[in-house]
Structure 1
Amino acid sequence: MDLRIFTEPQQGATYDTVLRVAKATEDLGFDAFFRSDHYLHMGDADGLPGPTDAWITLAGLARETKQIRLGTLVTAATFRLPGVLAIEVAQVDRMSGGRVELGLGAGWFEQEHQAYGIPFPGNRFDRLEEQLAVVTGLWATEVGKTFSYEGAHYRLTDSPALPKPAQSKPPVIIGGHGPKRTPRLAARYADEFNMPFASIEDTERQFGRVRAAAEEAGRSADDLVYSSALVICVGKDDAEVARRAAFLGREVDELKENGLAGSPAEVVDKIGRYAAAGSRRMYLQTMDLDDLDHLELVASQVAPQLG
């Protein structure tokens, strides 16, 4: 089971804070550092000092880290034109020496679009599908040849399809709960399917849909990596678990039901149940970016028991 640290910097974090967490992620032996792609805080957070752009942040981290994978869970298709996104990801991939992964989603948080003057169209899933076709098509075009695309929302004519990423193709992550279009899209474009914040039963059911869609598309279902994302709240004792739950503004029992919470043994057991449902990678949503002791506890007492 790969363990990846997944952060939400829009809730209030400077680049220096994010860098500190990313370096701790690497030093402690986690597989990857991922961040959200949002420009506005959610819930009761004040968001100070303000948002950091996901791909500018990852460009900095690409030069400041050496081993961990880096990516978004997930980039909003509404924020960037697909040709520009393909360039950004390819450039950051080269800056990192080939360690970048692209999680791409349709975009959903209307309020942040309103706050920063970003269009929020009603046909976002259709746009997402075209973005995936354009981004992967640009990367796949041979050097010296051009790429053209004619869609309902995006049109490219004789693009040189440059620059190329360091990897032959940065892994593309698609996720979500949708029962039909999401599995079909994952089967066509994804290297990894992520089921975020879902029960074990719903996770297993959605993985089954994606596997079936892959087979229907003429692709082996095992070509994809299947992953989960859940909030993490571990403590050495009940008091520490309660303190970390309070930071999240949530109850311990609710977190144990809907996240990864409790003692290291409890969390190991629950991750094992997700593994039995088909998950091979776990994104640990880490909300308190100043609590590096939390990461150390997971690295020292959870990770070693997962094999």
Structure 2
Amino acid sequence: MDFRVFTEPQQGASYDDLLAVAQATERLGFDGFFRSDHFLSMGGDGLPGPTDAWTTLAGLARETSRIRLGTLVTSVTFRHPSILAIQVAGVDQMSGGRVELGLGTGWMEEEHTALGVPFPAKRFGMLEEQLELITGLWSTPVGDRFSYEGEHYRLQNAPGLPKPTQSSVPIIVGGGGPKRTPALAARFATEYNSVFVDLAEHRARMARVRQASEAAEREVPILSIGGTIAVGASTADAQRRAEAIGRDLDRMRPTGIVGTPIEVVDRLGAFAELGVTRVYLQLLDLQDLDQLEFFATEIVPQVG
């Protein structure tokens, strides 16, 4: 099982804050650093203001050397897919081939309204077309041209450049839709991600992705989960960390990764029984690098 650190910079973080977390992520042996792709705080003042996900990852690509870098998840409403393909390929080159693209429909209408970004009521078709278009651009042989005509996007004779360093940039698809999401994951995803739900819902989602993959005669993607962390040597320590992010430890237990090492190891074991091989640790207190070190030294060795 590998572990990745997941951040929510729109809640209030500078680039330097994110750099410190990413460098700690690398130093402590975690597999990757991921961030959300939002432009509006979900409560609080959000100071000093949002950072752009792919601009941030470009900087981190040059200031780290090993960890995987990516988004959970980029919204299809924020960037035209042909531009996004260029951005991601560029950051992949800058990182030496360490980038992964999480892509989703987007959900936060309020931030779209605030920034004047269109928020169509129906976006799943946009997601499907963006996946087709981005992977099509990347896979077009150098010297050839790529054209695409869908309901939402049309490209004519695009050169499909630049190419990522990786032969295939991993694609992450997530969500809880019962039919279309599993089918899309089976078709395009290197990884299927499920976050912020209880164990029973994780189990149901994983089962649907397996069924869709079997129906499509494709290999089941990597199965991953994510949850907010509040861990410590004692329950009191974990509760203190929960309170620092405005949460109650007991209320976090159904969907979070919380408590003492023995509690967390047991929960990770339950995830492993579902076939989960990757876990995203949502760190909301970006100043609490000691929590990452505690997780790396006290928990990871017990499940690695």
- TM-score by length of structure 2 reads 0.99
Find out whether 1:268 has 2:265 as its counterpart: yes
- Structure 2 distance, partners of 1:218, 1:240, is 47
Q: What code does the residue aligned with 1:166 have? A: T
- Structure 2 distance, partners of 1:130, 1:272, is 37
* Aligned match of 1:30: 30
Q: What code does the residue aligned with 2:201 have? A: D
Determine if contact 1:204/1:278 at 8 Å carries over to the other structure: no
Q: What code does the residue aligned with 1:235 have? A: G
* Aligned match of 1:11: 11
- 2:33 is paired with a residue whose SS is strand
Once the two structures are TM-superposed, the CA of residue 90 in structure 1 deviates from its matched residue by 0.2
| Deviates most, 254-263 or 189-198 | 254-263
Equivalent runs, 1:89-100 vs 2, <5 Å: 89-100=88-99
Once the two structures are TM-superposed, the CA of residue 9 in structure 1 deviates from its matched residue by 0.4
Q: What code does the residue aligned with 1:69 have? A: R
Determine if contact 1:36/1:75 at 8 Å carries over to the other structure: yes
- 1:240-273 CA distance string (max 9 Å, x none): 2121111222211111222111101111110110
- 2:247 is paired with a residue whose SS is coil
* Aligned match of 1:187: 186
Determine if contact 1:183/1:210 at 8 Å carries over to the other structure: yes
Find out whether 1:293 has 2:290 as its counterpart: yes
Find out whether 1:76 has 2:75 as its counterpart: yes
* Aligned match of 2:300: 303
- Structure 2 distance, partners of 1:258, 1:230, is 6
- Structure 2 distance, partners of 1:140, 1:204, is 33
Find out whether 1:252 has 2:256 as its counterpart: no
Once the two structures are TM-superposed, the CA of residue 196 in structure 1 deviates from its matched residue by 1.0
Q: What code does the residue aligned with 2:264 have? A: V
* Aligned match of 1:107: 106
Is there any run of 5+ residues in structure 1 with no aligned partner, and where? none
Determine if contact 1:105/1:174 at 8 Å carries over to the other structure: yes
* Aligned match of 1:147: 146
- 2:266 is paired with a residue whose SS is helix
- Structure 2 distance, partners of 1:220, 1:36, is 27
> What do you get for the CA RMSD once the two structures are aligned?
0.8
- Structure 2 distance, partners of 1:65, 1:185, is 32
Q: Kindly tell me the number of residue pairs found equivalent between the two proteins.
A: 304
Determine if contact 1:200/1:277 at 8 Å carries over to the other structure: no
Once the two structures are TM-superposed, the CA of residue 205 in structure 1 deviates from its matched residue by 1.4
Q: What code does the residue aligned with 2:75 have? A: A
* Aligned match of 1:46: 45
Once the two structures are TM-superposed, the CA of residue 80 in structure 1 deviates from its matched residue by 0.2
- Structure 1 distance, partners of 2:266, 2:242, is 19
Once the two structures are TM-superposed, the CA of residue 238 in structure 1 deviates from its matched residue by 2.5
- TM-score by length of structure 1 reads 0.98
- Structure 2 distance, partners of 1:189, 1:301, is 36
* Aligned match of 1:233: 230
Q: What code does the residue aligned with 2:188 have? A: Y
- Structure 2 distance, partners of 1:128, 1:79, is 12
Which 4+ stretches in 1 moved above 2 angstroms?
none
- 1:9-53 CA distance string (max 9 Å, x none): 00000000000000000000000000000000003x210000000
Q: What code does the residue aligned with 1:190 have? A: A
